[in-house]
Structure 1
Amino acid sequence: MSTATASAPSSSDSKKTLRNAVIRFAGNSQDGIQSIGGFLARLAGRTAQEVMTYMTIPATISGGPSIFQVHLGSGEVLTAGDEADVLVAFYQHSYDGHFNALRQGGICLYDSAEVKEIKHEKGVFHIGIPFTAATVEAIGGSAKDRGKNMFVLGLIVSVFNLDKEKLVGIISRQFGKKDESVLRNALLAFDAGYAYQIGDIEKFALAPGEADSGHRISTDGNQMLSLGLLAAGVRYGAAYPITPWSSIMETLRSELPKYGGIFVQAEDELAAVSMAIGEAFAGHLSMTGSSGPGLSLKMEALGYASMAELPLIVVNVQRGGPSTGLPTSVEQSDLMQAIYGSHGDTPRFVLAPKDVEDCFYIALEAGRIARKYSSPVIILSDQALSSRIEAFEEPDLDKHWVEPTLDQTPRDADWKPYPLDKTTQHAPPGTKMAGGKYPHISGLEHDEWGHPSGNAKMHQQMTNKRRQKLLDAAAEFPAPEVHGDATGDALIIAWGSAWGPAKEACDRLRSEGHKVSAANIRHLHPLPNKLDGVLAGFKNVVCVEMNDFGAYGHGQLAMLLRAKYADPKIKSVCKTDGLAFRVREIVTGVEKHLAAGQA
């Protein structure tokens, strides 16, 4: 919001038009700042605006300091914003903790009853407003703690000249099913904030949205993963709750019965994955999910699914580790676990969505692969994707919907469940075998009929067969698209939620004259065969990922790429502070590698 200045003109001046605005709400988790941030994000989806959100919440049940940041834009929005244009501080600790997140010359709206000590740096324009007192005046003292967030929402809508009518509709739908007094008080507080005379502050208006016309939606990654799993034909699943996975489980528990399916909350992670394996054995595309700690507990059973060659989708919404680590923070440290976590050679597929919209399509891809190769597929989402809200075109369900059918067509006399010369296609129990010989399934090594076998030659052949699935898929997967030129000094490689900041960092570096491009990898294991042709055009390849350099000086994806291509030009930019990448962190990291290459 570069038009805002420390000496902002009065509100009587004409509104200035902005293409982007980053607003950070800072308070406590009980203040409802996530709710009002969500309202703004959903409004963006209904006004052809682009949006990306970011939030932090305390890991303790008792709550504590929390933020919700909203980046609104008329054009493409790739990150939640490195700096805030506007800080809304509910308390002194909110102000003290997030003042440095404000850009030079930004605006700070603060609760004048709570914030007493003001900083006079960065040319910030401060405006004290009695959030709580004004809310009490509007709706009464009994609702003061439940209404000040809506009062603040009204302020923001007024300052940025947002579509009040559409937002009131969103609020009404949100609270419409509650007691009538809840909606009435929410709108009273909202209207009071909207009408509040702020004084000497410039009013702004976001430029008209440039998104394609059509039916747009605003939602988070967990919701889109849930919808994608439904569209992919998943009708059965089981899991155990854990942050930040749980909302997927809750959605599937409510939605699957509407499609003739069922989702079971199991007593623990091992029971959950075992139930999901049983559903896959019964002939269905099933799923389970968790976060990193839960995936660890599922590993032995996932080895069974690989040995039995059953179609199973496993969602891992990654968070900070190790152990229980940082339950509400982001990290991408589970890649090696996803690929190699189980004992023995247990081939399985690993995919990662690049943004909230892609969460839907990655679920479709996981379903396709699981069915085609009769194999477990792990989806690596992460905490940032799970909770952030983006706006995009609603998927065409008529085009993508998979209606599952239980394939119990009779098998020919020469049919085998584990043929050495082709891909396994599981036959559910009850399928008629023309030859009268029925398959056996277990976690033991087996022959082509599934009967236990300790034969050395058979074990090698079966190992080769299971590996071949990955090799066949690697030849099938498309090469990642390159953002920028096909050749240059550096290619930024990203996966998961790191893609948005990496893409924007690429654009910034290019604007500064650097010959830099960027690419996102969705198929993490196996890597696409055509990837080598992409990497060949660049002097440096810089992997951007939220995990540690480790003992060998490289992030997890970078280690895989270096192992595959034995190329020292593959380097890393890593971080493990529990926060999403800022664009400037990636720019600085890439510039260091470019400078080192020129030394």
Structure 2
Amino acid sequence: MISQLSWKVGGQQGEGIESTGEVFSIALNRLGYYLYGYRHFSSRIKGGHTNNKIRVSTSQVRSISDDLDILVAFDQETIDVNFHELREGGIVLADSKFNPTIPDNVNVTLYAVPFSEIATDLGTSLMKNMVAIGATSAILNIDPSGYKEVVQDTYGRKGIEIVEKNLMAIKKGAQYLQENLEFTREDMYLEEADGKRKMYMIGNDAIALGAIAAGSRFMAAYPITPASEIMEYLIKKLPQFGGVVIQTEDEIAACTMAIGANYAGARTFTASAGPGLSLMMEAIGLAGITEQPLVIVDTQRGGPSTGLPTKQEQSDLMAMIYGTHGEIPKVVMAPSTVEEAFYDMIDAFNIAEEYQVPVILLTDLQLSLGKQSVEPLDYHKINIRRGKLMTDELPPLENKEYFKRYELTDDGISPRVIPGVKNGIHHVTGVEHDMTGKPSEAAGNRIEQMDKRLRKLSQMKFNTPVYKNIKHEQADILLIGFISTRGTIEEAIPRLEKDGLKVNHAHIRLIHPFPTEELIPLVETAKKVIVVENNATGQLANLLKMNVGHANKIASLLKYDGNPFLPYEVHTRSKELI
């Protein structure tokens, strides 16, 4: 029996590959297994190879596996493209309809199963994915009845007949493997899971749920991969809480609408990817100079321009810090797990209001769309902080003066009111202004207002700016990463330790302002610092050199082909860099 399994299903986009992975993984999640799934898909509606790789384990997993135990193929291209991942003794389950073949002289077993024929006999070839799930169940020694609840949830709206046919397709798939292929492979049987139910979600779902928990009741956004699921989730959920989502004409409108709603006192945000963030830059500057809270989610993808819209990359880092013209205080956060995405989204709203600044929650495609098992969230951790927001009637103003919305304060944070608060009238403008908001180009005022705004950065406090896994006082290697590379790095560390190396790990969760003080001692006590990131220019490594120094011991481990890191890559390439 095995405690961990890697399974992949592939075929042409539009023929049910995603639903196959969903039914399979949700059922196993409900049995108590931990899962981590990653979809490879084309930037088109239909056609083109797509696959869904799912890792099943009796313990927590946060990365894609290096190899593959079972490949389910609906066409020959799936075998040709993914065959190299199969381990010795692996299995290919393929639809016999296309006469599947595998390379000669390899220790892999091909089982040709009539997925399409069995499904057609039951009413429609569309159910071939359910037949494939049934065949997989026979390999793993899982009772096909375990899928009943998931199939009912997935297809129940189509009627009981459709549900029954899909369940029969699963049963027939298992029976065919057991009865016709004399299947006995106990080395593929999964160990029993703990039976505890866990949440199973993508990072975008966690972000959307975090927004609801934070009290956000309005989202303005324009659809874009890989951020659209945030909007789609909230379109369904926000109305249940009295909220609304507006699909705007473009990202510029989305960002300015979010600024206006925040000015009115609502907690609101927008979400996009690199191309959308480029359009938002001027508006982010407006939020900075008017000191309006603003939360933006940037789900990074391959660039530049349209680039690789459905592929992994982490190349927006410098743009999120320095993209706006002029100088404004800004916060850039980077959660590294689905759980952190939920809690950090709540913190993003709190920080935006407490310090009256734009806050960018930086994710990447792997975290945003990768689906994984999550322990139940702790809603007792939720704490809403609105800073110096004043909603009650204010004392009368003398001599008909305006309210000092941009009053000079020691901490750089001025009192904030929303429209309608009596005696809170003030100007709001995108040009430089005095304490009441009136335009002013006076040199002295400019210096005072700039210094006031920038003072906020030195006042900011964060819960966990750096995740640390520090086992050694003096490390041979300090591995540093951000966002979705965390699980891959964690999996590579035991392999490096087995090679006799002392390895520490720091994952940066706060990109700006940079957590220099926390990182200095870790860098100083390491012989070599290796920064793992999905871009071509080593943006995170350059930030580390700028803020911490020790450039001579910092090396970059880069990948920018559109695919996430695998554990073996971090393991082998780290050894090459020391």
SS at match of 1:176: helix
Q: Deviations over 1:137-174 (max 9, x none)?
A: 3x03xx11x10001001111221123544421111111
Question: After alignment, is 56-65 or 279-288 more displaced?
Answer: 56-65
Q: Deviations over 1:106-135 (max 9, x none)?
A: 111112221443212441122221211122
Q: Is 1:173 the counterpart of 2:149 in the alignment?
A: no
Instruction: State the match for 2:139 in structure 1.
Output: 159
Instruction: State the match for 1:498 in structure 2.
Output: 485
Report how far residue 89 of structure 1 moved. 1.5
Report how far residue 468 of structure 1 moved. 2.0
Specify the code of the residue in structure 1 equivalent to 2:567: V
Report how far residue 461 of structure 1 moved. 2.3
Report how far residue 353 of structure 1 moved. 1.5
Question: After alignment, is 298-307 or 472-481 more displaced?
Answer: 472-481
Q: Deviations over 1:231-275 (max 9, x none)?
A: 111112201111111111112222222222222111111111111
Report how far residue 358 of structure 1 moved. 2.0
Instruction: State the match for 1:149 in structure 2.
Output: 129
Instruction: State the match for 1:10 in structure 2.
Output: none
Report how far residue 478 of structure 1 moved. 4.6
Q: Is 1:127 the counterpart of 2:111 in the alignment?
A: yes
Distance (whole Å) between structure 2 residues aligned to residue 425 and residue 581 of structure 1:
46
Specify the code of the residue in structure 1 equivalent to 2:156: G
Q: Is 1:466 the counterpart of 2:453 in the alignment?
A: yes
Q: Is the 8 A contact 1:355 1:497 kept in 2?
A: yes
SS at match of 2:484: helix
Tell me which stretches of 4 or more aligned residues in structure 1 moved more than 4 Å. 401-407, 412-415, 474-479
Q: Is 1:410 the counterpart of 2:393 in the alignment?
A: yes
Q: Deviations over 1:484-541 (max 9, x none)?
A: 3343011111111111111111122112211112121111111223222332321221
Specify the code of the residue in structure 2 equivalent to 1:442: T
Match of 1:450 among 437, 442, 448: 437
Q: Is the 8 A contact 1:233 1:401 kept in 2?
A: no
Instruction: State the match for 1:420 in structure 2.
Output: 408
Report how far residue 347 of structure 1 moved. 2.4
Q: Deviations over 1:365-401 (max 9, x none)?
A: 2112112111111011111122221112221335427
Q: Is the 8 A contact 2:466 2:510 kept in 1?
A: no
Instruction: State the match for 2:32 in structure 1.
Output: 48
Matched ranges for 1:16-55 at <5 A: 17-55=1-39
Report how far residue 205 of structure 1 moved. 2.6
Pair 1:195–1:270, CA change in 2 (3 A): same
Specify the code of the residue in structure 1 equivalent to 2:414: T
Q: Is 1:531 the counterpart of 2:511 in the alignment?
A: no
Distance (whole Å) between structure 2 residues aligned to residue 318 and residue 335 of structure 1:
9
Distance (whole Å) between structure 1 residues aligned to residue 463 and residue 433 of structure 2:
28
Distance (whole Å) between structure 1 residues aligned to residue 107 and residue 310 of structure 2:
33
| TM-score when normalising by structure 2 | 0.93
Q: Is the 8 A contact 1:328 1:383 kept in 2?
A: yes
Instruction: State the match for 2:86 in structure 1.
Output: 102
Specify the code of the residue in structure 1 equivalent to 2:497: R
Report how far residue 207 of structure 1 moved. 1.9
SS at match of 2:255: helix
Q: Is 1:254 the counterpart of 2:236 in the alignment?
A: yes
Match of 1:314 among 296, 305, 320: 296
Distance (whole Å) between structure 2 residues aligned to residue 484 and residue 76 of structure 1:
20
SS at match of 1:524: strand
Match of 1:545 among 530, 533, 539: 533
Q: Is 1:185 the counterpart of 2:175 in the alignment?
A: no
Distance (whole Å) between structure 1 residues aligned to residue 322 and residue 529 of structure 2:
24
Pair 1:403–1:492, CA change in 2 (3 A): closer
Pair 1:397–1:281, CA change in 2 (3 A): same
Pair 1:401–1:480, CA change in 2 (3 A): closer
Pair 1:170–1:425, CA change in 2 (3 A): farther
Match of 2:496 among 509, 522, 526: 509
Pair 1:425–1:384, CA change in 2 (3 A): farther
Q: Is the 8 A contact 2:36 2:64 kept in 1?
A: yes
Q: Is the 8 A contact 1:311 1:374 kept in 2?
A: yes
Q: Is the 8 A contact 2:226 2:301 kept in 1?
A: yes
Report how far residue 407 of structure 1 moved. 4.8
Matched ranges for 1:200-599 at <5 A: 200-203=183-186, 204-209=188-193, 213=196, 216-400=198-382, 402=384, 407-412=390-395, 416-421=404-409, 422=411, 423-433=413-423, 438-473=425-460, 478-528=465-515, 529-549=517-537, 555-568=538-551, 569-594=553-578
Distance (whole Å) between structure 2 residues aligned to residue 521 and residue 412 of structure 1:
45
Q: Deviations over 1:205-233 (max 9, x none)?
A: 3223359x5x5211111111110111111
Distance (whole Å) between structure 1 residues aligned to residue 164 and residue 242 of structure 2:
38
Q: Is the 8 A contact 1:95 1:115 kept in 2?
A: no
Contiguous gaps of at least 5 residues in structure 2: 398-402
Instruction: State the match for 2:400 in structure 1.
Output: none
Q: Is the 8 A contact 1:221 1:356 kept in 2?
A: yes
Instruction: State the match for 1:14 in structure 2.
Output: none
Report how far residue 186 of structure 1 moved. 1.3
Distance (whole Å) between structure 2 residues aligned to residue 356 and residue 580 of structure 1:
16
Question: After alignment, is 342-351 or 463-472 more displaced?
Answer: 463-472
SS at match of 1:518: strand
Report how far residue 277 of structure 1 moved. 0.7
Specify the code of the residue in structure 2 equivalent to 1:566: G
Distance (whole Å) between structure 1 residues aligned to residue 455 and residue 573 of structure 2:
37
Q: Is the 8 A contact 1:318 1:382 kept in 2?
A: yes
Report how far residue 182 of structure 1 moved. 2.4
Q: Is the 8 A contact 2:144 2:171 kept in 1?
A: no
SS at match of 2:232: helix
Instruction: Give me the identity figure in percent.
Output: 36
Report how far residue 26 of structure 1 moved. 1.5
SS at match of 1:417: coil
SS at match of 1:182: helix
Q: Is the 8 A contact 2:235 2:245 kept in 1?
A: yes
Distance (whole Å) between structure 1 residues aligned to residue 99 and residue 494 of structure 2:
38
Q: Is the 8 A contact 1:303 1:342 kept in 2?
A: yes
Q: Is the 8 A contact 1:87 1:108 kept in 2?
A: yes
SS at match of 2:37: strand
Distance (whole Å) between structure 2 residues aligned to residue 254 and residue 585 of structure 1:
40
Distance (whole Å) between structure 2 residues aligned to residue 563 and residue 33 of structure 1:
45
| CA RMSD of superposed structures (Å) | 2.1
Instruction: State the match for 1:11 in structure 2.
Output: none
Distance (whole Å) between structure 2 residues aligned to residue 544 and residue 425 of structure 1:
42
Instruction: State the match for 1:13 in structure 2.
Output: none
Specify the code of the residue in structure 2 equivalent to 1:347: P
Specify the code of the residue in structure 1 equivalent to 2:360: I
SS at match of 1:18: coil
Distance (whole Å) between structure 2 residues aligned to residue 165 and residue 112 of structure 1:
25
Q: Is the 8 A contact 1:347 1:470 kept in 2?
A: yes
Specify the code of the residue in structure 2 equivalent to 1:473: M
Q: Is the 8 A contact 2:514 2:547 kept in 1?
A: no
Instruction: State the match for 1:12 in structure 2.
Output: none
Q: Is the 8 A contact 1:299 1:341 kept in 2?
A: yes
Distance (whole Å) between structure 2 residues aligned to residue 126 and residue 475 of structure 1:
53
Report how far residue 295 of structure 1 moved. 0.6
Distance (whole Å) between structure 1 residues aligned to residue 246 and residue 371 of structure 2:
27
SS at match of 1:586: helix
Pair 1:165–1:416, CA change in 2 (3 A): farther
